[in-house]
Structure 1
Amino acid sequence: NIYVIDKKNGGKADSLNAGIEYSSQSLIVTLDADTILTEQALSIVNNTFEDKDVVAAGGMVHVLQTKTSNPLRDLSLLHTNMLVRVQMLDFLKAFYITKVSLARFRALAIISGAFGIFTKQALVDVGGYRTTIGEDIDITLRIHRYISGQKKKKIVFVPEAVCYTELPENWKDFIKQRIRWQKAFIDCFIHFRSFFWKTFFTKPVSFFYIAESFLVGTIGTYVTTGIFVINSTLNLPTFSPYYIFTYLSYIFLFSLTYDLVAIGMGKHYGFTFQKKDRYRLFITIIFDIFVYRFVTLYIVMYGSIAYFFNKDWNKVARTGRNYQTDSKSAA
């Protein structure tokens, strides 16, 4: 049975809380409006919660524009532009490498809003969703704080439970979305700062959030950019062609390895690209290394500063395309 709750628009958090209140089952599944679940996804996550120590779980999110008529095996780049392809590659890295790794250390800080599963009791105990710019990261961290005194309780990532969600197809919407994500990251860093510092040496999620995401991912971006600007302005010895070549070579080799491992991990979980997509995939990797990563550096720096001056959602428009039809032609 499907019930539609007719209520005034009070924002995403308010709608999620209304759904939690009206639900009668022990598990709550949250999705984005454009999320498409594969047939086995709910059965897989339902089995995950047979372990009573699991209080929340996240599923694997693939890019809707790459969906084919065989959504559990094949990905297609045929009807995608470069921006969608490089985001697809970014998602493979974020989910199949980062989330899989963090989940093993019980340090998963974000259950994607596109596909999240929670026990109703946990959501009720933490007081439901908070009205904020990033509900998905906020609720995940609130549950981490909630279970911090319960050693056996855990948040897991389930890569076998697959969904598809639409990603921006133009740079304007992409930058707006990623700036919002960075604002959400900063918002949660400030909101949960007391929890992070108190549990820095005892909770992996706090250690990785501060050390890896904040210090390396955010502060490190400013430091690296600052060093580059100072060296180039003052023409210091460290700005010689040799050092630049060495640095860029490191960036290239590390990024290339990262991309190839992500594609390999996707194959490990059953997802492959068609042979005719290999050239597109190669060009995407090159674009990721030499263009996309520098765009994301700008987004991290701008989004971190913009949080303190403008906390708007930066809503991204949907394409409205019928992917069920498009997917067959892409197969």
Structure 2
Amino acid sequence: MQPRLTPVDPFITSRRKKYISINKKFVFSHLISALWLVFSIFLSLPWLKDLSEIFTLPVSILIIGGIAYVPGYMNAFLVMSLLLDRQPVFKNQYPDKEVTLLVAAYNEEKSIFQTLSYVANQDYHGKIKVIVIDNRSTDNTYIELVRAQKELKLEIRVLKESRPGKFHALNKGLHHVTTEYVITLDADTLLHPSAVRFLVARMESSPEEVCAVAGSMLVRNSRENILTKIQEWDYYLGIASIKRLQGLYQGTLVAQGAFSLYKADAVRQVNGWPDAIGEDIVLTWRLLQKGWKVYYEPLAAAFTDVPANLSHFTKQRSRWARGMIEGLNEIKPWNQPQIYTKYLTGVNLIMPYLDMVYTFFWIPGLVLAFFGYFWIVGPMTLFVLPLTILSYGILYLYQKQYVFKNLNLKVRKNITGFMAFILFYQMIMSPISVWGYFQELFKLQRVWD
């Protein structure tokens, strides 16, 4: 999905509908999820009985719980929350407050000029001050930055950071930020021309206790191969749905460093970006622990290159899994001050359980099913699919009608990638996540690239 250098229509309309409080949405969604759980347990009794003859009842409950009960409950909660979600309208679509944009760059000679050119083409009415922190680059990154300073209509300041680590680079840049808002942007990420405007507009339209707004990440290089085609749907449907769910309950768990806006003073209050492999995850959780709220803006779209080979993909996603564990180790869910963030971060406590069940039971069970042994994977597991497809269908329509239509973008046909995403993506993701948990448990060497 290549960005188009065309600003969006300035008038995004929204039909007035009856307001439902967040508390009511939260309770009602859980009620429907509980009913679905009871229904799924009732249907699974014969399956549970047969599996108990092989693994004992407690182990069978753990297996089926990880394959059907918990995922079904979570999917039902997601579906109901998405159905009840109504994105608030902007108070002002054209804010003009001065903002600072931070870019940490390490050997980005191939992408940094293009990234900055997209920043220069923003339709934002305020001034954008750009600070690029060159973090020990050994290629021609600095030469490209000098070219950008000369050729682009953009105020660009270049700093150098000799200590390795993205968090060092961002914290150095933060020392030079004088504006109220600071935006982080990855050096290989391209912005839709209205991205900064919508990000700031969401912040300006939010309550005072909101300290960060996460942008919407989409895939730029989806045509490269089957792996990137699969990831296109993961970003478009999977990650976006989770972001919307978390944003609805005022606790987006990751204001991703690739493209997010923060109140600079709030970041300073938690001592900036931490020394962590998931520095954006830990930073966000620290902000939530302080009582701040974090929102998500689907119209603030940015386009990134995703890993095109399995090795790079494994390193990235295992790093994300490690980052989640880092956050849980530092800030326990029960120490979060708000009920919604207690719940949202608490969900992460069961993710290792789900990934391990999927890796060590569901995948072997699928292999056994091919040989006619339906002990673990059988007809009953198909009951999870309707909710999954329904949730993706709801988000697909939302993304197409509300996000892409308003951004003058078109959803590219990618049927092969979609089928592979539905059928095989979790079989790749869960083992990689388990590997990430293992790495963090034994404190193995951090790998970013």
TM-score normalized with structure 2 length: 0.59
Q: Partner of 1:302: helix, strand, or coil?
A: helix
From 393, 398, 404, give the equivalent of 1:260. 393
User: What residue is the counterpart of 2:194 in the other structure?
Assistant: 40
User: What residue is the counterpart of 1:155 in the other structure?
Assistant: 294
Q: Structure 1 CA distance, aligned partners of 2:348 and 2:394? A: 21
| Superposed counterparts of 1:1-331, under 5 Å | 1-50=155-204, 51=206, 52-66=208-222, 79-147=223-291, 153-193=292-332, 196-199=333-336, 202-210=338-346, 212-215=347-350, 217-226=351-360, 228=362, 241=374, 244-271=377-404, 278=413, 281-316=414-449
Q: Structure 2 CA distance, aligned partners of 1:265 and 1:300? A: 29
Q: Which has the larger radius of gyration?
A: 2
Shift of 1:232: 9.5
Which residue identity does 1:60 align to in structure 2?
A: S
**Any gaps of 5 or more consecutive residues in structure 1?**
67-78, 148-152, 317-331
Shift of the 128–59 alpha-carbon distance from structure 1 to 2, 3 Å rule, reads: same
Shift of the 232–124 alpha-carbon distance from structure 1 to 2, 3 Å rule, reads: closer
Q: Structure 1 CA distance, aligned partners of 2:362 and 2:165? A: 42
Spell out, residue by residue over 1:131-160, the C-alpha distance to the aligned partner (whole angstroms, 9 max, x if none): 11111111100110122xxxxx52111111
Q: Is the 8 Å Cα contact of residues 29 and 118 (structure 1) preserved in structure 2?
A: yes
Q: Is the 8 Å Cα contact of residues 361 and 376 (structure 2) preserved in structure 1?
A: no
Q: Structure 2 CA distance, aligned partners of 1:30 and 1:95? A: 19
Which residue identity does 2:203 align to in structure 1?
A: F
Q: Is the 8 Å Cα contact of residues 62 and 165 (structure 1) preserved in structure 2?
A: yes
Q: Give aligned pairs, total.
A: 287
Q: Structure 1 CA distance, aligned partners of 2:263 and 2:214? A: 12
Which residue identity does 1:198 align to in structure 2?
A: N
TM-score normalized with structure 1 length: 0.78
Q: Structure 1 CA distance, aligned partners of 2:387 and 2:438? A: 28
Q: Structure 2 CA distance, aligned partners of 1:208 and 1:289? A: 24
Let me know the Cα RMSD of the aligned residues: 2.7
Shift of 1:6: 2.2
Which residue identity does 1:208 align to in structure 2?
A: L
Q: Which has the higher contact order (CA 8 A, sep 6+)?
A: 1
Q: Structure 1 CA distance, aligned partners of 2:431 and 2:359? A: 10
Q: Partner of 1:97: helix, strand, or coil?
A: helix
Shift of the 225–2 alpha-carbon distance from structure 1 to 2, 3 Å rule, reads: closer
Q: Is the 8 Å Cα contact of residues 278 and 323 (structure 2) preserved in structure 1?
A: yes
